[in-house]
């Protein structure tokens, strides 16, 4: 029989604790919210602001700096690559946030990812692409990396006490608090970070322009750098829509935005648009998703197909167009309603001395210049101390040159080793450092030739020490050193702009157009000024047209709902509208009264309707004095959506007829029983709307031109009979066979 296990009796101390916990269960303890924020939230917020999200004056966040410094210490500044996993593992000695976070940081710094204008990591393998949401990077065990050549400028003279070093997180290693960058890397590359209660968004600038602007600012702190540093430059290219006011705002305050537009080409042979550069804030997938939604919703009808043809040569998004589509007009519209054109918001929030500050480009460059001056001063001071130490040793060596045998004798006659240095000090009047140096000279070097060669360096060292002392005492010389280094960096690593600048006079201004459905319609216009828009289906199902008593249809046009309508009036004016502004109706309806609909003046009547889509072709006007005017239709097109144009045609002579023609046709002119057929090719095109044109028909005294109309096939049996050899002409009398036809 198994014995029962006796339960353990808790100790009195533990039992009292448990009892206290049970007694306090459910008790609400009041705590001031200020104390909670100070104890819990504020340390966390300060940690991510200072140690994660906000870059410092050298242009790097701590994660970037730790990774690059690890690669530098691994000797990856040469031509040898290593597996990314190796770098990630080594970086964990400085960065305790895990391999995934470290590798993602490396990806964003790499050349393969393409988010930086000047990448710091030269990569091999699949690192994804910044312009693609779905193109993931390969695992770290498959990719290889090394430092890009420009990274040498990040670590130049780092071993010469140019920056401070601090302990890593477990106090086993030293790491730099900043990198002694030789160019303003804070503005060279794209940098975005989000902290608690604040964020940072810094755009990139062209390296050559940035170096030149920094040099100009060092020469004159009040210099205007807008003409040198024209605008940001993004690695993805595209077009930057330049507005001087917005540029000045960002340069002065560090806040503002820039508008970036895609770059595309039109392939006429295949009737497609190829987009090769997009804004840095979007992806190919986001653009395609938006365009697909617009096509499905019927808001964009000009696109027949779209595909992503991105390959090893770079980004390419191809859009196939339907026949007759204007590619430039479509792209202007797509840029307005899709991510093909987006804003890049700037917030130049940088840690300066451990304090987050929002600085404009001017202040940021000034802070970098001050930082770089201190780094150069520390480097010069380090070199000066080294040269002084070397000079001090050589001067001690110079003193034994007078009696080398004496030095040898002192060493040989000294019984104990520890007495060698003191005896040399007393024998030649040198200090301990010099004596230690002399005592360490090899036996083979105790000859006059060796010592003479070494002591010959003394004069050169004295000159170098003097020059270094002068540099330390002259701020201008330090600035000259910085300027020389900037010119070297610009010459070695500078490259042309990726993002082109579109100035205001180069930007095509287009009024936003409302998206309207496009479908076939029949347009009717009557003599009394009534208008109807009827769909073909409704027209087939309808009976006779309902009109006002005594009214009749003068124009019937097959068109679409998206066409433009121009109504010419009895007062020589034209009112512009579109078919989409009118509701679909039926034949049984009276229709819209145009003078009332368009707000015409008292007594003004609509006499003619022109239907157009692209304002091509021309208008022909016939006047009582026998003249006719041929006016380009483009003369009525306006950049702004004006509803009314005055002086639409000449009112110096009464109008007898008008016609809108897309191409040249035959017109019939008649007066006092005479007629003539004239092709509009004989009329010269005018760009002035209110011109009287040219004389077409010579009139007898007190006669006037009575009609002008289009020639129809059934008008005359033989139209050539009435065609004059030239204009102006008197015309011909109507033949017997045509007398029954009304003029």
Query: Do 552 and 679 belong together in one domain?
Result: yes
* Peptide linkage before 653 cis (omega within 30 of 0): no
pLDDT tens by residue, 182-233: 999 999 998 998 888 788 999 999 999 999 999 999 999 888 898 899 999 9
Does residue 49 sit within a domain?
Answer: no
Domain ends where: 180, 212, 234?
Answer: 180
Predicted confidence at residue 688, as pLDDT, reads: 85
Predicted confidence at residue 306, as pLDDT, reads: 94
Does residue 230 sit within a domain?
Answer: no
pLDDT tens by residue, 506-552: 666 554 455 567 788 999 999 999 999 998 888 888 778 888 888 89
Question: How many whole angstroms from its chain centre is CA 380?
Answer: 41
The continuous run of DSSP H or E covering 490 comes out as: helix 475-493
Predicted confidence at residue 297, as pLDDT, reads: 78
Query: Do 570 and 713 belong together in one domain?
Result: yes
Q: Give the integer Cα–Cα distance in Å for 306 and 304.
A: 7
Query: Do 554 and 687 belong together in one domain?
Result: yes
Mean pLDDT of the chain: 87
Query: Do 395 and 453 belong together in one domain?
Result: yes
Query: Do 370 and 317 belong together in one domain?
Result: no
Closest CA to 410 of 424, 429, 400, 396: 424
Query: Do 290 and 335 belong together in one domain?
Result: yes
Query: Do 642 and 718 belong together in one domain?
Result: yes
Query: Do 588 and 731 belong together in one domain?
Result: yes
pLDDT tens by residue, 381-428: 999 999 999 898 888 878 877 677 888 888 888 888 888 888 888 888
- Asked if residue 686 lies in contact with residue 632, where contact means CB atoms within 8 angstroms, the answer is yes
Predicted confidence at residue 219, as pLDDT, reads: 93
CA dihedral 686, 689, 694, 700 (to 10 degrees): 170
The continuous run of DSSP H or E covering 355 comes out as: strand 355-358
Report the DSSP beta bridge partners of residue 523. Answer: 533, 557
Residue 742 pLDDT class (50, 70, 90 cuts): very low
SS3 525: strand
Indicate the angle between helix axes 284-296 and 327-337, nearest 10 degrees: 100
How far is CA 211 from each of CA 158, 215, 224, 321, 352, rounded to the nearest angstrom?
21, 6, 14, 44, 21
Query: Do 566 and 621 belong together in one domain?
Result: yes
Q: Where are the beta strands (DSSP E) in 98-179?
A: 121-124, 144-147, 165-167, 174-176
CB-side neighbour CA atoms (13 Å) of 164: 7
Its pTM stands at: 0.67
The continuous run of DSSP H or E covering 390 comes out as: helix 361-400
Q: Give the integer Cα–Cα distance in Å for 99 and 85.
A: 8
Closest CA to 380 of 458, 459, 476, 478: 478
Catalytic residue, candidates 72, 131, 137, 142: 142
Q: Rounded to the nearest 5 degrees, what angle is found at the Cα of 564, between the Cα atoms of 558 and 570? A: 95
How far is CA 495 from each of CA 209, 210, 235, 431, 492, rounded to the nearest angstrom?
10, 12, 11, 55, 9
Whether residue 293 has pLDDT greater than 70: yes
Query: Do 300 and 392 belong together in one domain?
Result: no
- Asked if residue 176 lies in contact with residue 69, where contact means CB atoms within 8 angstroms, the answer is yes
Whether residue 75 has pLDDT greater than 60: yes
Does residue 248 sit within a domain?
Answer: no
For residue 159, give its domain range.
60-180
pLDDT tens by residue, 232-283: 999 999 999 998 889 999 999 999 999 999 999 999 889 999 999 999 999 9
Predicted confidence at residue 8, as pLDDT, reads: 56
Closest CA to 566 of 658, 656, 639: 658
Q: Rounded to the nearest 5 degrees, what angle is found at the Cα of 444, between the Cα atoms of 443 and 449? A: 120
Predicted confidence at residue 283, as pLDDT, reads: 93
Query: Do 313 and 435 belong together in one domain?
Result: no
Total structural domains in the chain?
4
Predicted confidence at residue 2, as pLDDT, reads: 47
* Peptide linkage before 728 cis (omega within 30 of 0): yes
Residue 21 pLDDT class (50, 70, 90 cuts): low
SS3 482: helix
Predicted confidence at residue 11, as pLDDT, reads: 62
Q: Give the integer Cα–Cα distance in Å for 430 and 423.
A: 10
pLDDT tens by residue, 604-643: 999 999 999 888 899 999 999 999 999 999 888 876 667 8
* String of DSSP letters for 677-689: EEEGGGSPEES-T
Read off the CATH number of the domain in which 442 is found: 1.10.268.10
Which two structure tokens, joined as six digits, stand for 498? 């990726």
Residue 503 pLDDT class (50, 70, 90 cuts): confident
CB-side neighbour CA atoms (13 Å) of 595: 14
Determine whether 142 is an active site residue.
yes
- Asked if residue 548 lies in contact with residue 530, where contact means CB atoms within 8 angstroms, the answer is yes
CB-side neighbour CA atoms (13 Å) of 556: 9
Domain ends where: 180, 209, 224?
Answer: 180
Closest CA to 454 of 436, 441, 435, 467: 441
pLDDT tens by residue, 563-579: 999 999 999 999 999 88
């Amino acid at each position: 029989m198994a014995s029962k296990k006796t339960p353990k009796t808790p100790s009195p101390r533990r039992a009292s604790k448990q009892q206290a916990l049970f007694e306090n269960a459910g008790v609400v303890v009041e705590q001031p919210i200020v104390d909670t924020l100070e104890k819990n939230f504020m340390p966390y917020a300060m940690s991510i602001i200072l140690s994660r999200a906000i870059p410092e004056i050298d242009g790097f966040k701590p994660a970037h700096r730790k990774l690059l410094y690890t690669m530098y210490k691994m000797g990856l500044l040469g031509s040898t690559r290593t597996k990314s996993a190796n770098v990630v593992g080594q970086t964990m000695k400085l960065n305790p946030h895990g391999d995934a976070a470290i590798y993602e940081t490396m990806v964003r710094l790499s050349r393969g990812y393409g988010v930086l204008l000047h990448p710091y990591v030269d990569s091999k393998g699949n690192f994804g692409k910044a312009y693609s949401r779905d193109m993931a990077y390969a695992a770290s065990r498959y990719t290889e990396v090394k430092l890009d050549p420009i990274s040498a400028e990040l670590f130049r003279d780092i071993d010469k006490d140019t920056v401070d070093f601090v302990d890593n997180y477990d106090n086993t290693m030293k790491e730099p608090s900043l990198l002694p960058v030789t160019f303003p890397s804070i503005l060279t590359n794209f940098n975005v970070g989000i902290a608690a209660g604040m964020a940072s968004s810094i755009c990139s600038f062209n390296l050559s322009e940035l170096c030149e602007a920094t040099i100009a600012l060092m020469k004159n702190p009040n210099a205007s750098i807008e003409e040198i540093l024209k605008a940001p430059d993004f690695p993805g290219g595209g077009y930057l829509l330049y507005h001087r006011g917005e540029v000045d705002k960002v340069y002065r305050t560090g806040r503002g935005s820039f508008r970036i537009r895609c770059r595309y080409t039109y392939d006429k042979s295949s009737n497609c648009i190829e987009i090769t550069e997009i804004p840095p804030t979007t992806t190919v997938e986001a653009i395609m998703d938006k365009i697909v939604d617009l096509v499905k919703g019927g808001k964009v009808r000009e696109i027949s197909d779209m595909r992503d043809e991105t390959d090893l040569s770079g980004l390419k998004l191809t859009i196939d167009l339907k026949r007759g589509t204007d590619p430039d007009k479509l792209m202007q519209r797509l840029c307005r309603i899709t991510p093909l054109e987006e804003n890049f918001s700037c917030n130049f929030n940088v840690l300066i001395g451990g304090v987050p500050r929002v600085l404009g480009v001017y202040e940021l460059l000034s802070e970098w210049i001050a930082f770089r001056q201190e780094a150069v001063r520390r480097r010069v001071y380090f070199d000066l101390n080294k040269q002084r130490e070397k000079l001090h040793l050589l001067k001690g060596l110079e003193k034994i040159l007078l009696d080398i045998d004496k030095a040898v004798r002192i060493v040989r006659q000294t019984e104990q080793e520890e007495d060698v240095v003191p005896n040399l000090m007393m024998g030649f009047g040198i200090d301990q450092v010099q004596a230690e140096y002399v005592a360490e000279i090899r036996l083979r070097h105790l000859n006059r030739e060796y010592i003479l060669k070494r002591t010959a360096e003394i004069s050169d060292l004295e000159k170098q020490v003097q020059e270094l002392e002068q540099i330390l005492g002259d701020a201008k010389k330090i600035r000259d050193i910085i300027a020389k280094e900037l010119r070297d960096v610009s010459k070695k690593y500078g490259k042309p702009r990726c993002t082109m600048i579109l100035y205001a006079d180069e930007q095509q201004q287009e009024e936003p157009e409302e998206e309207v459905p496009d479908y076939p319609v029949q347009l009717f216009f009557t003599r009394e000024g009534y208008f109807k828009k009827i769909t073909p289906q409704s027209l087939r199902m309808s009976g006779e047209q309902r009109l006002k008593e005594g009214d009749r249809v003068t124009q019937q046009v097959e068109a679409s709902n998206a066409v433009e309508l121009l109504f010419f009036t009895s007062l020589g004016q034209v009112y512009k509208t579109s078919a989409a502004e009118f509701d679909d109706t039926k034949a049984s309806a009276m229709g819209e009264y145009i003078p009332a609909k368009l707000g015409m003046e008292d007594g003004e009547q609509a006499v003619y309707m022109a239907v157009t889509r692209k304002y091509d072709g021309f208008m022909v006007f016939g006047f009582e004095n026998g003249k006719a005017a041929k006016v380009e239709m483009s003369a009525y097109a306006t950049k702004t959506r004006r509803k009314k144009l005055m002086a639409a045609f000449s009112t110096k002579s009464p109008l007898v007829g008008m016609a809108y023609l897309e191409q040249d046709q035959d017109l019939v002119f008649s007066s006092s029983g005479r007629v003539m057929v004239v092709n509009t090719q004989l009329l010269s095109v005018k760009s002035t709307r209110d011109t009287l044109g040219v004389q077409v028909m010579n009139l007898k005294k007190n006669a006037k031109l009575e009609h002008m109309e289009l020639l129809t096939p059934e008008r005359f049996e033989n139209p050539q009979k009435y065609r004059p050899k030239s204009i102006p002409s008197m015309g011909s009398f109507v033949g017997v066979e045509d007398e029954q036809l009304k003029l």
